[in-house]
Chain A
Amino acid sequence: MLEIKNLHASIDGKEILRGVDLVVPTGEVHAIMGPNGSGKSTLSYVLAGRDGYDVTDGEIIFDGQNIVETPAEERAAAGVFLAFQYPLEIPGVATMTFLKAALNAQRKARGEDELTTPDFMRRVKAASEKLNVTQEMLRRPLNVGFSGGEKKRNEILQMALLEPKLAILDETDSGLDIDALRIVSEGVNALRSPDRSMLVITHYQRLLDHIVPDKVHVMSAGRIVRTGGPELALELEAKGYADYAGEPA
């Protein structure tokens, strides 16, 4: 599903990713852990196609295509989804309007018909109930005045509606209390599927108690420096990242 080869990326002339190699096979959930500043969030932005990052070397092979030059909106339509660490607030755009615009834009880009309003409403209702997203939240401007937990639930709701092939979850656990973490994790687990890959980026092991990965990678100074099974997360939790301090990114 996703194959990253020797990926180098910099922002404002400063190299953050220094040769990332990573393979996430279809249907697997991989975690990336690492100290602050190791390049985890940069990797998620570069994968999603954010402007402002210079990919200076390497490839991102998604579904058989190198998407390094593909604009963000086309990557999204092809099935890449990024759950933001800090979901943005958009005053004046109702959550429902945003969801419909996103879903229909992706369908249109794939040559599918736009959803009718009743069909769309049915899908939103089904997905939002599972995530405790209320009708009132859906009517409000996107993320405006939402609590940290509400914002993260809203991210997972978008993921459930957009049904990506590859979901990248950037620090989805940050700012969540135990109950919110459980709801979000259940939402993510419900979306695990043999056709869908996930890349879970986190600083702490606790998220991985809820979303158990197939593999854990350690990132340090812009590279993947170690790969192991779920037990690697426990080791990191016990010993910290001191062994991986490397050169500061």
Chain B
Amino acid sequence: MNAEPRILRTQAEETLALEFAAARTQLPGSPAIAAAREAAFAAFQKLGLPHRRTEPWRYTDLRALLRTVPPLAIGTSGDDVVVADLLPGLDRARLVVVDGAFRPELSDLSGLDGVTIRPLVDLLRDGDTRVGQQIAPLNDAVVSLNSALMVGGVAIDVPADARIARAIEIAHVTSSAVASHVRNLVTIGADASVRILETHLGPAGSAYQANIVTEATAGDRAKVIWAKLQSEGDAAVHLGTLAVSIATETQFDHLTLMTGAAISRAQTFVTYTGENARAGLFGATMIRGKQHADIALGVDHAVPNGASRELFKAVMDGRAEGVFQGRIVVRPDAQKTDGRMMTQGLLLSEDASFFVKPELEIFADDVQCAHGATSGEIDEDILFYLLSRGIPRAEAETLLVTAFLAEAIEGLGDEAIGDAFEEIARNWLATRGQEAA
């Protein structure tokens, strides 16, 4: 016996099969893309929705969590959508994607001279071979599902040597209770410097599902700051994937802030294709009530002399479940790799939980790698120190939780984005105890 036989399908899997069958002729793309969709859906059907025995998804059992699937979003919808500004005061260009459709009329492209921005559907119609390239090695059902059903997104091309001072936001908005499958492609040329901001939001109370896959490449010596803000509506499912490859001497700093959605998973896959590249990967999770948020990381040191730093912090209140799964692979040729991964959970309630699975797979012998994980409550000694100075308990806790998260947020190394994200953290804490548990 080898693979487990997949005979029983869940209701969600059945619905997806019916939807794909109905939509396959309407989905955009060249014949090559159409063929790729068929192959991707077959791959999805073979894997099924991830479940507890799907090792990389161990703590996010989608087969159990995803009972139903809302209708597929195809074409332009959400005409009357209002895009909230989650980061007031942060100057940035803005590419608005509603239910997977790029909406130039809602976007602000100023300050992006030299940068090419196209709707992804154009690339699908052209059969652009870059689409699907970065995710090809991933054997992930959710990514395969996205490859089968993707309707659009944006393609951003930052040419070599470009220095783009203004941050570029890709604002992903879901307008109603639909399932949207978004694909973005970001190509950053050699020696370019750019700051990308991914935001995700949608209406409260709406059980929409957003599956967003972004493929990115960063050229030699490029400097990339990439921040993601997952602030989906409270009944939403968010499945986000970033697959990026970094080249010789590329500096890639990435931060994920997870605070929205009922069920969310953010996966980041970084592959080193050139030597002396450095990646800083950071995460801050703030969840409460019955929220479930999973950050998954795959770092692939395929070449020598790469460095990576990972710091993930999670704060859980109420009955929330936080998950961190991080995997660093050091391939046989990747000598002198320097990888350090740290995960810290802070539980604000007795009913909250945090699941951590750090993994190091090292096949080279001359490397420095380490990982660590801690989980605990607010330190009573430190809390008493603050109380003894007259700082009220709620304020003292806010101060300590903000400081806890700040270390990861500031790791990104971008003051403007860091300040805006810390403001979100403070606002989250300010509303503590007001939500229904």
- Residues in chain A within 8 A of chain B (CB atoms): 48-52, 71-73, 76-77, 81-82, 84, 87-88, 90-93, 97-98, 101-102, 105-106, 109, 141, 158, 162
Query: Bound complex: CA of A158 vs CA of B391, how far in Å?
Result: 13
Instruction: Tell whether, in the assembled complex, residue B403 and residue A88 are in contact, meaning their CB atoms are under 8 Å apart.
Output: no
Q: For A91, A93, A106, which residue has the most chain B Cβ atoms within 10 angstroms?
A: A93
- Residue on B nearest A73 in the bound complex, by CB: B387
**Could you say which residues of chain A place their CB within 8 Å of the CB of B385?**
84, 87-88, 90
Report if A88-B381 is in contact (Cβ < 8 Å); known contacts: A71-B387, A82-B388, A158-B389.
yes
Instruction: Tell whether, in the assembled complex, residue B403 and residue A92 are in contact, meaning their CB atoms are under 8 Å apart.
Output: yes
Query: Bound complex: CA of A102 vs CA of B387, how far in Å?
Result: 9
Instruction: Tell whether, in the assembled complex, residue B392 and residue A105 are in contact, meaning their CB atoms are under 8 Å apart.
Output: yes
**In the complex, how many angstroms separate the beta carbon of A24 from the nearest chain B beta carbon?**
18
**Could you say which residues of chain A place their CB within 8 Å of the CB of B381?**
88
Query: Bound complex: CA of A49 vs CA of B385, how far in Å?
Result: 11
| A48-B388, A76-B390 given; 13 more Cβ-contact pairs under 8 Å | A49-B387, A49-B388, A73-B393, A90-B386, A92-B407, A97-B399, A98-B386, A98-B389, A101-B386, A101-B395, A106-B390, A109-B390, A158-B389
Query: Bound complex: CA of A73 vs CA of B382, how far in Å?
Result: 13
Query: Bound complex: CA of A97 vs CA of B399, how far in Å?
Result: 9
Instruction: Tell whether, in the assembled complex, residue B403 and residue A73 are in contact, meaning their CB atoms are under 8 Å apart.
Output: no
Query: Bound complex: CA of A248 vs CA of B306, how far in Å?
Result: 59
**In the complex, how many angstroms separate the beta carbon of A101 from the nearest chain B beta carbon?**
5
**In the complex, how many angstroms separate the beta carbon of A12 from the nearest chain B beta carbon?**
14
Instruction: Tell whether, in the assembled complex, residue A102 and residue B391 are in contact, meaning their CB atoms are under 8 Å apart.
Output: yes
- Residue on B nearest A89 in the bound complex, by CB: B382
B424 at the interface (CB under 8 A from A): no
Sorted from nearest, which 4 A-B pairs have the closest CB atoms?
A92-B403, A76-B390, A102-B389, A106-B390
Instruction: Tell whether, in the assembled complex, residue A88 and residue B380 are in contact, meaning their CB atoms are under 8 Å apart.
Output: no
Instruction: Tell whether, in the assembled complex, residue B382 and residue A101 are in contact, meaning their CB atoms are under 8 Å apart.
Output: no
Which residues of chain B (259-306) have a CB below 8 Å from chain A? none
Instruction: Tell whether, in the assembled complex, residue B390 and residue A77 are in contact, meaning their CB atoms are under 8 Å apart.
Output: yes
**Could you say which residues of chain A place their CB within 8 Å of the CB of B406?**
92
**In the complex, how many angstroms separate the beta carbon of B312 from the nearest chain A beta carbon?**
15
Which residues of chain B (370-411) have a CB below 8 Å from chain A? 380-382, 384-393, 395-396, 399-400, 402-404, 406-407
Interface bin, chain B: 20 to 34
**Could you say which residues of chain A place their CB within 8 Å of the CB of B389?**
76, 98, 101-102, 105-106, 158, 162
Instruction: Tell whether, in the assembled complex, residue A50 and residue B384 are in contact, meaning their CB atoms are under 8 Å apart.
Output: yes
**Could you say which residues of chain A place their CB within 8 Å of the CB of B396?**
73
Instruction: Tell whether, in the assembled complex, residue B407 and residue A72 are in contact, meaning their CB atoms are under 8 Å apart.
Output: no
Instruction: Tell whether, in the assembled complex, residue A76 and residue B387 are in contact, meaning their CB atoms are under 8 Å apart.
Output: yes
Q: Can you list 15 A-B pairs, Cβ within 8 angstroms, ordered by A?
A: A51-B384, A72-B387, A76-B387, A82-B388, A84-B385, A88-B381, A90-B385, A90-B400, A92-B407, A93-B400, A97-B399, A102-B390, A105-B390, A106-B390, A109-B390
**In the complex, how many angstroms separate the beta carbon of A26 from the nearest chain B beta carbon?**
21
**Could you say which residues of chain B place their CB within 8 Å of the CB of A102?**
386, 389-391
Q: For B381, B385, B396, which residue has the most chain A Cβ atoms within 10 angstroms?
A: B385
Q: For B381, B387, B400, which residue has the most chain A Cβ atoms within 10 angstroms?
A: B387
**Could you say which residues of chain B place their CB within 8 Å of the CB of A50?**
384, 388
Report if A93-B391 is in contact (Cβ < 8 Å); known contacts: A88-B381, A88-B382.
no
**Could you say which residues of chain B place their CB within 8 Å of the CB of A71?**
387, 393
Query: Bound complex: CA of A93 vs CA of B386, how far in Å?
Result: 11
Query: Bound complex: CA of A76 vs CA of B391, how far in Å?
Result: 9
Query: Bound complex: CA of A113 vs CA of B395, how far in Å?
Result: 18
Instruction: Tell whether, in the assembled complex, residue A93 and residue B387 are in contact, meaning their CB atoms are under 8 Å apart.
Output: no
**Could you say which residues of chain B place their CB within 8 Å of the CB of A141?**
403
**Could you say which residues of chain A place their CB within 8 Å of the CB of B388?**
48-50, 72-73, 76, 81-82, 84
Instruction: Tell whether, in the assembled complex, residue B390 and residue A91 are in contact, meaning their CB atoms are under 8 Å apart.
Output: no
**Could you say which residues of chain A place their CB within 8 Å of the CB of B387?**
49, 71-73, 76
Instruction: Tell whether, in the assembled complex, residue B400 and residue A73 are in contact, meaning their CB atoms are under 8 Å apart.
Output: no
Query: Bound complex: CA of A91 vs CA of B399, how far in Å?
Result: 11
